[in-house]
Structure 1
Amino acid sequence: MRATLSTLCVTAVFLASGLGWGAGETSASSSWSAESCPTLREGSPEELGLDSTPLVEAADRLRRWAEPATGRPLFAGAAVLYAHQNVVLRRDSAGYALRYADGEGRELPGEEQRPAGTGTVFDIASLSKLFTSVLVMRQVEEGALLLDAPVSRYVPEFGDNGKERVTLRQLLTHTSGLEPFLPLWRDWPDRESRLRAVLAVRPQVPPGSAYVYSDLNMIALMVVLERVTGLPLDELLRRDVTEPLGLAGTGFRNADDPVGDVAATEYQVVPARGMVHGEVHDENAWSLGGVSGHAGMFSTIDDLAVFGQTMLNGGCYGGARILRPSTVRQMLTNHNDAFPSNPRGLGFELDQPFYMGGLSGPLTAGHTGYTGTSLVLDPLSNSVVVLLTNRVHPSRDWGSINPARAAVSDALASVVGRGDGNSP
């Protein structure tokens, strides 16, 4: 499922935007040095001739959602960052990184609670998939992987049970036919058997016949990466993305890492983990040692803004390049024309108004995470919105944060003149 007209449209928009997409096509890994690419700087809406009122109003809503006058909060704590034209317009935080003692909502004593700040580290859940996708595409650039090659070329055992023709592209676009989820933590005893279960699973629907969002796709891609590079995913991430970009607050965590300013997530009874704090929330990622292709990473609003700006720049930031411009164009182009309700780039979601709000459009890219996170990249206005929350603290059953996701995107859309600033 190759995009043709879509690719031409994306290329034209990015070349016209002047975001560095026409820069040289040197291999990303031949050197970490690059031409001087745009970086984010501190600023304000006013210095760009913009009205900051929508962002101020969004900050007030964020606080009211975190600490309502009555009833449960929409999320325990949150941090948000808005960037436009390489300027960080505003950061806000609200609520608590740690507030509750158990899943019933009983609060910790005041002195044990911890407020959320703009530097708080959050479990970013499925935003991890974007980083896995970047790592895959770096190996495509190197010639170690081919997008339309069968996965079984790199991991032979994956070809069992009707998956012999499933390609890397299908894993990245969630068209492989694999089911959404397996309870790896519950039904298999160790990491090795859990990974074997993922590789052996039979497709839920014929590969290429439907869009089925699946964590298993990204776990399989992790195995592919580890086989072709000889490195575990966390080391590969550090070498190829976080160190070059200077993302000191981003990565996978070990169980013995100090908690520091890390937001707590859920009080889990099954499995009996108690209050999950400093470890990954996702049970399958936890059962894989905290490192997985689908979840497990932690990050901050500033680090994710740098990552987002890197993609808008065409794969570089400052003096570092992690991807070629043509690779980024591929990643942010719709490859799911056959499934118009589910436009997808390679790893990235496209045009999702439920969280992209007024910034949404055919070229707008991003992703959400189960813990209450979202990243939105708008190439048309050169804008980034990062929202991180711990909405599962203390319970995943307290509801969706989609109203907040859309509201922060709407706020920036209003400021920069994208859409009407009111999501559906």
Structure 2
Amino acid sequence: MRVPALLIATTMALSVTLPAHAEGREARFDQPHEGWSSNVLRTGTPQRVGLDPAPLDAALAQIERYTVPDATGHPLFAGAVTLFAHDGVVVTHEPTGWAVRYADAAGTELPEAQRVPMAQDTIFDLASISKLFTSIVVMRQHELGRFGLDDPVARHLPEFGVNGKESITVRQLLTHTSGLVAWLPLWSQYPDIPSRLKAVMDTKPRSAPGTTYLYSDLNLITLGLLAEKWSGKKLDELVRDDITAPLGLVDTGYNPPAAKLDRIAATEYQAGRGIIRGSVHDENAWSLGGVAGHAGMFSTARELAVLGQAILNGGAHAGGRILREDTVELMLTDFNQGFPGNSHGLGFELDQRWYMGALTSPRAAGHTGYTGTTLVLDPLSRSIAILLTNRVHPSRNWGSINPARRVAADGLAKALAVRPRHGTAWTPESNGATLTTRELPRRSAEQQLSFWAFVDLDPGDKVVLEATDDGSAWREVRVLAGYGQRRWQKVELETESAGKFRWRYVRGTGYGGRGVYVDAVRVIDERGVALDAEREPAGLHPEGWRAADR
């Protein structure tokens, strides 16, 4: 008897506001929140909000190891600041390594006395996280009625409506479905700011609008120009008036003043610019005066967390409001369902396992930056994971820091508990691991198997429930797979009588999730209970599975 696969649902909407956890109550991964929080960020300990500190400490230790040279002869990044927040409490705000470490492109290390260590208040070039600030000010203009999301951009910027761009909409710019090319060498092939902006306006799409997903800096440069057109203000003024001032952010903005230079992390060595520190790393943003829709913002981990908390709060923090709740909901809605793997809200990236790690869900939102910056917001657990590094210091060619991004997100996810639904839960630890029932009495033609399952697995991972008559051959009964629901689900099956059942873990090639747990296994036949694993723990035989209490 073959039963169709069970795919765990992957959608969850925000709706009503719920009160925050009481201090000290355990933080649960398996009890997702709905609605907006109303927290004001404050500093505390993991225990204060019920997090297990061990996974956080392990993540921080690994991030620190990334600052030590490895087999390549250099570290993954010179330094980092990691910030974890849960339920409005910053539980970790940890600097490691160096904000300034190298003297040249070859990676010549400065004498230690001339280096600058990372600090909690180190200011980073956010690179493409800047796109979130641009998107927020654009959506503020939407709240003011200045445009419709499906308005053609050319209605507001007539000079944009050439070379096949006449039908591109504002929504398509925000979701990277406009068809515009990813990048143009504005800084090197055009002599001044007017000619560089004209090149963006004149560019020809690579594909028809709405037909493909292609991440493009040009989308956000155009959105910055739109925001300036609608408001009559420059983009840096809009960001100040609409975001940083209402949120009380004093170290967040474009072109940081020279007085803050000693707190700014260095980035790359570039010909003609030397080791860059205090001006934007992105060449195109630099050539546009340091203020552009796609790059140019600087900030600290703590101030970026305030922005993140404002989003989790539905657009407000500590009495300052930057957006309405319905606008934030729009920004966290996936408009790219036609482009699997490229989920995107209005400005925010969604559901991106490659850097969101085990915090990934269809509601997880965030962005990364080329300089080595990462912001992950998890509305379902009301958590924030921030990893800011200067990974391009001194060279952009020293490797990808995506593993470090996932280490940070995974550490926070694992600090959130998954508690057994009943007495004892089991979770696999290795590919091919099996959890097998003892031999069952064959007293009837059919049996009823029930158990509770918690499933949060990377696509490609699965647990296969199988049955056998005599142990010589196993047949598939059901597949447990999927992620994002974060709730225990009761599974009840009527099956052909079997001698044994087993749960077999199959590891794919992805990045992993929070895991799978099986609990309260029970088999009933016509004569009654054939197995109750909660009353008879020895009735389950684990090979590569462990008993788990969280």
TM-score (norm 1): 0.91
Distance 1:142 1:331 in 2: 16
2:33 counterpart of 1:17: yes
Cα pair 1:13 1:380 within 8 Å, conserved: no
Alignment match, 1:394? 394
1:394 to partner: Cα distance: 0.2
Higher strand share: 2
1: CA distance between counterparts of 2:290 and 2:354?
29
Q: Deviations along 1:219-260, whole A, 9 cap, x unmatched?
A: 000110111111110011001100110111111015856512
Q: What amino acid is aligned across from residue 200 of structure 1 in structure 2? A: D
Say whether the 8 Å CA contact 2:256–2:298 is kept in structure 1: no
Which residue does the alignment assign to 2:48? 47
Residue 68 (structure 1) shift:
3.7
1:13, distance to aligned residue in structure 2 (A): 7.8
Match of 1:382, as an amino acid? R
Report matched runs for 1:99-248 at 5 Å.
99-248=101-250
Q: Secondary structure at the match of 1:161?
A: coil
1:357 Cα deviation (Å)? 0.5
- Distance 1:126-1:227 versus aligned 2 partners, 3 A rule: same
Task: State the Cα deviation string for residues 116-148 of structure 1 (Å, max 9, x = none).
Answer: 111100000000000100001000000012111
Structure of larger gyration radius: 2
Partner of 2:435: none
Q: 1:383: which partner in 2?
A: 383
Q: Which residue of 2 aligns with 1:299?
A: 299
Letter paired with 2:199: A
8 Å CA contact retained: 2:49, 2:86: no
Cα distance in 2 for residues equivalent to 1:13 and 1:262: 40
Distance in 2, matches of 1:118 and 1:243, equals 21
- The one-letter amino acid of 1:416's match is L
C-alpha distance in 1 between matches for 2:415 and 2:247 = 28
Aligned 8 A contact 2:165 2:204 in 1: yes
Higher mean Cα deviation, 171-180 or 51-60? 51-60
Query: Where does residue 261 of structure 1 map in the other structure?
Result: 263
The structure showing larger relative contact order (alpha-carbon pairs under 8 Å, at least 6 residues apart) is: 1
The secondary structure found in structure 1 opposite 2:45 is coil
Alignment match, 1:3: none
TM-fit CA distance, 1:345: 0.4
RMSD: 2.0
Contact 2:377 2:384 in 1 (8 A): yes
1:364 matched to 2:374: no
Of the structure 1 ranges 363-372 and 252-261, higher mean CA displacement relative to structure 2 is found in 252-261
How far residue 48 of structure 1 moved from its aligned partner, in angstroms, is 2.4
Determine if contact 1:410/1:423 at 8 Å carries over to the other structure: no
Q: Is contact 1:315–1:321 with CA below 8 Å preserved after alignment?
A: yes
Counterpart of 1:406 in structure 2 is 406
* Count of residue pairs the alignment pairs up: 402
Q: Provide the TM-score with structure 2 as the length reference.
A: 0.71
Secondary structure of the residue aligned to 1:368 is strand
Q: Distance in 2 between matches of 1:349 and 1:301?
A: 19
- AA aligned to 1:10 is A
Distance across 2 between alignment mates of 1:219 and 1:49 = 42
Secondary structure of the structure 1 residue equivalent to 2:261 = coil
Q: Which amino acid aligns with 2:36?
A: G
Note the C-alpha offset of 1:62. Answer: 1.5
Query: Shift of the alpha carbon at 1:108?
Result: 1.5
Q: Which runs of 5+ in 1 are unaligned?
A: 1-5, 22-36
- For residues 217 and 75 of structure 1, what CA distance do their matches in structure 2 show? 29
Q: Is the 8 A contact 2:169 2:178 kept in 1?
A: yes
The 5-angstrom pairing of residues 249-398 of structure 1 reads 249-253=251-255, 258-269=260-271, 272-398=272-398
Compared with structure 1, are the counterparts of its residues 254 and 69 closer, same or farther at alpha carbon in structure 2 (3 Å cutoff)? closer
- Higher relative helix content: 1
Q: Matches of 1:197 and 1:44 in 2, distance apart?
A: 51
Structure 2 residue runs without a partner (length 5+): 1-8, 19-31, 419-455, 459-509, 513-550
